[in-house]
Amino acid sequence: MEAEILSECDAPPNDGGAKRRQVMDGARTAFLSAGFDGASMNDIARAAGVSKGTLYAYFDSKEQLFEALIREDRSQQAERLCAFPADASDPGGQLSAFGRRLIEMMARPETVAHVRVVIAATAKFPRLGQAFYEAGPAYGAQKLAARLQAFVDSGALEMADTEQAARQFIDLCHSGVLKRLLFGVVDCVSPSEIDAAVAAAVDVFLKAYRPSRAGAPPAT
């Protein structure tokens, strides 16, 4: 990475974060358009409408900028995804709502494009893949695991490992949907496809983790 000599005017301004937001928005546009390898810092500066020196005032490298963008975008989406109501008596309803939000988010063209960019960059920069996983899938699974623990505590569900169960449910929701989008088999999935995929996931999950009724014969 070429060295940058920053002038005083390139120092991060005290603007409440507006300039940094401008940089991040420009970086998102450049990365989604050209990919991680294809987007240069010049491209990012042009897309953001700032000087190259301003970029380096905020981020030491393109890798650091991309990692910050990954963590911010994934964290914001994960927070919206995991907005659970307090009620712990209806696992089916809450899992259905979570699953729909998850697939609707993952099926957005910009999300699919973002995932592809991260996958392409990860072989050369494993830290970027780790950042994506920590801020997105891992965070979402942890939040879902906490919700599952509330269902366990209320007696609505029964499981020994809530984190494993959370990952299982997320994978069930992805089944038949995410890979088709990532590999370009389809360009989009319909609301009815999302509803069907989530309903199947909830059905399988609840059959595995609902407590059996006392005295009832085991399911066959």
Residue 1 pLDDT greater than 50, yes or no: no
The structural domains of the chain, ordered by start, are 8-60 (1.10.10.60), 64-209 (1.10.357.10)
Q: Per-residue pLDDT averaged across 143-152, rounded? A: 94
**What percent of the chain shows pLDDT beyond 70?**
88
Q: How confident is the model at residue 12 (pLDDT cuts 50, 70, 90)?
A: low
What pLDDT was estimated at residue 81? 79
Residues in the chain, total: 220
Q: Per-residue pLDDT averaged across 209-216, rounded? A: 68
- State the Cα–Cα distance between residues 143 and 133, nearest whole angstrom: 14
Q: Which residues contact residue 151 at a Cβ distance below 8 angstroms, ignoring those fewer than 6 apart?
A: 88, 91, 157
Q: How confident is the model at residue 216 (pLDDT cuts 50, 70, 90)?
A: very low
Which of 16-25, 46-55, 112-121 is least confident? 16-25
**What percent of the chain shows pLDDT beyond 90?**
70
What is the average pLDDT score of the chain?
86
The DSSP code for 59 is -
Residue 158 pLDDT greater than 90, yes or no: yes
Report the run of H or E that residue 148 belongs to, with start and end: helix 139-154
Structure tokens belonging to residue 87: 């009620």
The per-residue pLDDT for range 170-191, each reduced to its tens digit, is 999 999 899 999 999 999 999 9
Distances (CA, A) of 96 to 15, 92, 182: 41, 6, 23
Q: Which amino acid is at 154?
A: S
Q: Per-residue pLDDT averaged across 52-74, rounded? A: 91
What pLDDT was estimated at residue 8? 38
Residue 2 pLDDT greater than 60, yes or no: no
Q: Which residues contact residue 54 at a Cβ distance below 8 angstroms, ignoring those fewer than 6 apart?
A: 10, 19, 23, 45
Predicted structure pTM score = 0.78
What pLDDT was estimated at residue 16? 52
The per-residue pLDDT for range 30-59, each reduced to its tens digit, is 998 999 999 999 999 999 999 999 999 999
